[in-house]
Chains A and B, each alone.
Chain A
Amino acid sequence: MKITIDDSSVYCYTNSRNIDSSKPSIVFIHGSGMDHTVWTLAARHFARHGNNVIAVDLPGHGRSTGAPLQSIPSMADWLEKVLDALEVEAAAVVGHSLGSLIALDFSARHAKRARALAMVGTIVPMPVSGAILDACKNNDHAAFDMLTQYGLSKRHQYGGNRSSGIWMVGSSLRLYERSQPGALYFDMNACNEYQNGLQSASAVECPVLMVLGSEDRLTPVRGTGPLQEAFHQPEVSVIQGAGHTLMMEAPNALLDALHRIL
Chain B
Amino acid sequence: MAAPEYPGLDTLALHAGSQPDPATGARATPIYQSASFCFPDSDYAASLFNIERAGHVYSRLSNPTNAVLEERIAALEDGVGAIATASGQAALTLAIMTLMGAGSHIVAAAALYGGSHNLLAYTLPRLGIETTFVDARDPQAFAAAIQDNTRLVFAETVGNPGLDVLNIPEVAAVAHQAGLPLMVDSTFTTPYLIKPFEHGADIIMHSATKFLSGHGIVIGGLLVDGGRFDWDASGKFPTLTEPYAGFHNLVFSEEFGPAAFIQRARKEGLRDFGACMSPTTAFHILQGVETLGIRMHRHVENTRRIVEFLNQHEQVSRVGYPELEGHPDQALASALLPKGCSAVFSFDLVGGREAGIAFVDALNLFSHLANVGDAKSLVIHPASTTHHRMDAAALAAGGIGEGTIRLSIGLEDAKDLIADLKQGLRAAGKVAAKQSVTP
Give residues in A with beta carbon < 8 Å to B: 13, 16, 35, 37, 40-42, 44-45, 48, 62-63, 129, 131-132, 142, 145-146, 149, 155, 157-167, 169-171, 174-175, 177-178, 251-252, 255
Contact = CB atoms under 8 A, between A and B. Distances in A.
B66 A164 contact: yes
Contacts, number: 146
B19 interface: yes
B54 A161 contact: yes
Nearest to A45: B52
Given A149-B3, A171-B80, A174-B257, 4 more contacts: A149-B4, A159-B17, A165-B83, A174-B259
Nearest to B265: A165
Contacts of B249: 16
A167 B7 CA distance: 14
Interface in B75-95: 75, 78-84
A160 B12 CA distance: 12
Contacts of A62: 257
Contact of B67 (A131, A164, A177): A164
Complex A-B, nearest 3 residue pairs according to Cβ-Cβ distance, in ascending order: A162-B54, A165-B70, A45-B52
How extensive is the interface on chain B, given as a class? 35 or more
Contact of B47 (A45, A129, A160, A161): A45
Contacts of A177: 228
A131 B12 CA distance: 27
Nearest to B262: A165
Contacts of A157: 7
Contact of A13 (B54, B55, B255): B255
Contacts of A129: 1
Contact of B62 (A37, A45, A165, A255): A165
A14 to B, nearest CB: 10
Contacts of B54: 41, 161-164, 251-252
5 contacts: A146-B3, A158-B16, A158-B18, A178-B257, A251-B54
A47 to B, nearest CB: 9
Contacts of B255: 13, 37, 40, 44
B228 A164 contact: no
Interface in B225-266: 227-228, 243, 248-251, 254-259, 262, 266
Contact of B74 (A41, A42, A145, A166): A166
Contacts of B51: 40-41, 44
B257 A37 contact: yes
B257 A35 contact: yes
B75 A167 contact: yes
Most chain B CB neighbours (cut-off 10 Å) among A157, A159, A175, A251: A159
A169 B52 contact: no
B72 interface: yes
Contacts of A255: 47, 52-53
Given A13-B255, A40-B256, A177-B228, A170 B3 contact: no
Contacts of A13: 254-255
A260 B313 CA distance: 76
Contacts of B243: 16
B3 A145 contact: yes
Contacts of A252: 53-55
B62 A175 contact: no
Nearest to B78: A170
B50 A48 contact: yes
Contacts of A174: 80, 227-228, 257-259
A170 B7 CA distance: 13
Contacts of B18: 158-160
Contacts of B15: 158
